[in-house]
Amino acid sequence: MVSSVLIANRGEIACRIARTASRLGMRTIAVYSEADRHALHVRLCDEAHLIGPAPARESYLVAARLLDVARAAKADCIHPGYGFLSENAEFAEACAVAGIVFVGPPASAIRAMGLKDRAKALMEQAGVPVVPGYHGDRQEPAFLKEKAYEIGYPVLIKAVAGGGGKGMRRVDKHAEFDGALESAQREAQSAFGDARVLIEKYVGTPRHIELQIFADAHGNAIHLNERDCSLQRRHQKVIEEAPAPGMSAELRAAMGEAAVKAAQAVGYTGAGTVEFIADAANGLRPGGYWFMEMNTRLQVEHPVTEAITGLDLVEWQFRVAAGEKLPLKQDQVPLRGHAVEARVYAEDTERGFLPSTGTLVALEFPKGEGIRVDTGVEAGSEISPYYDPMVAKVIAHAPTRKTALDRLAHALEGTIAAGPRTNLAFLAALCRAPEFVAERFDTGFIDRHLATLTAGGIDRGSAAFGVLRLIERETARIVGNLDRTEAEPVSPWDATDAFQLSGGRSLTVPVLIDGQPAQAHVIYGSSGPSVAVDGLSPALDAVAIEAADAVYVLRQGRQTVVRRPDLAATAADQAGGDGVIKAPMHGKVLALLVAAGDSVMKGQRLAIIEAMKMEHALLAPHDGLVSEVAVAVGGQIAEGAKIMSIEPSDEAN
């Protein structure tokens, strides 16, 4: 067994690797960017080294710097985790040249499976079923459009070097192909440095099923059962489970055999995932699945496999990298119960799932039977715009699927996460969705049910609870500060008693609820204040987290932020101004599609912003004339920053 490891990654996967390595008695070496100086993975390891500025391209993706640190720290091996350099063949080769073990497959296998077009051709030669499509070298837009027409719509445009849904677009109509191709290529170039794409037939009722495979350097290869990753949004996995609902032992054996063939075809070693798309229109069945791609690394969702097998896949990775044989044969692989994993992200589900950044004011996960949490952050950690906004993975394991889903839903609703907005309530709603519980789902499930899965509008019960806590805090402050100077402004928040000539004092108090102006109705009675927002009293099941300038109210996974307004602020300061286009989140300006002086129509795309590795288009709110463009392409922008201004046309007025 190797005795020391440099973990060339960050966040929850770096923490995950460090825990197993420490249990095995290995010395753990962390790397960190300037943005991660105080990150949890830095403190969890035995030693840590700064590798550069916050942007990943200047730190975590600089292979030479990582190798320099590994040599200086005398690391026996490098574990790349997932993302970053985990599927970089050149990095794997550089490790070998430096005499450092790369905990992953050989560079030849990464190259063979890293490009989707070559991988599909190789799988066809190995007798593995492949989705119909065009996987060739020609990339002229007109030629690709012709191929899409021949394949038949709908089709998927997929980045050759892609992963995680980046550089992928579904196209339903021939007329939409050009725009989708341009967008996919631009995103692929930005994410992978390779704009090439392939075209494949879109399966109408698709299930995304993947097989966890493991191979050693002695010619042994097995699979560790399957995972179902069909609950996706924007082609990115949201909830994963194992085993796949509706999977028979016979079909598992057939798909497992195909996955092992795929691994053997490229001389694979270590952990990998062979991904299939299955047509679930008539249930999972033989002949109804096709190879999509192979991920030559550990997957984010590997904990559900660990739950049903009782195995530590990171330990297996270390043992295989050290030259050991696989610990089990195929017929010895366990399959116990059911496991479900939910990815908790810092994102605003009510604003199109925009990334949400900022400091985690509070973070606390529930504990209970069958619950596991993998995270790389804690209370006080910063969710920055530089990296994937994952907060944690919450995994539930139980004897049955229904029990596992119930456990997961309760755990998500019981999680305390304040500061950046999260998708906790959305994930809990997914776990309870009747059709999903009844095993009637495919990769389009979330899009079809989005309106019922995301809460809309203000949670007035939570808002009233937050106002009550603010009033109690202000009352305590005023009572404890009776020597206040007369220069301080008078505020409706100053009411501290129940005196009124006729009954209890009744006030209308201005507040900010989730940043929007609102009013709360407060009555001071003999037993203290009572509060209502739009007629609703404080929710009794809410939890309040107090911060210096706000109260964060958490209820069933949803966050409501209540603040008192700045009464000294002028109306001009508060107004955004008609036609001012502001950045909805921190990010980078990828493209400006209009210039000052241009006429625009309502709904027209104005600019494209990249944040958390995803593209977001800004649209014109009305017809008008672009009067100002305040940013430049390539520039970094903060949430709320002015992008441009549009003067409404006479018709719009």
For the annotated catalytic residues, the residue numbers are 297
Residue 553 · residue 418 · CB < 8 Å: no
Residue 84 · residue 69 · CB < 8 Å: no
Closest CA to 253 of 285, 291, 225: 225
Closest CA to 590 of 646, 636, 637, 634: 634
In a 10 Å sphere around its CB, with 0-12 CB exposed, 13-18 middle and 19+ buried, how is residue 458 labelled?
middle
In a 10 Å sphere around its CB, with 0-12 CB exposed, 13-18 middle and 19+ buried, how is residue 315 labelled?
middle
The widest CA-to-CA distance across the chain, in whole angstroms, is 90
Give the sign of the dihedral formed by CA 508, CA 512, CA 516, CA 520: negative
Closest CA to 163 of 14, 294, 354, 317: 294
Ordered DSSP codes for 422-457: -SHHHHHHHHH-HHHHTT---TTHHHHHHHHHS--S
332 DSSP 8-state letter: G
Q: What token pair was written down for 288?
A: 């109804």
Q: What token pair was written down for 454?
A: 């995301």
Three-class DSSP category at 34: helix
Residue 276 · residue 292 · CB < 8 Å: yes
Residue 543 · residue 523 · CB < 8 Å: no
Q: What token pair was written down for 101?
A: 């073990």
Find the Cα–Cα–Cα–Cα dihedral 325, 330, 334, 335, rounded to 10°.
140
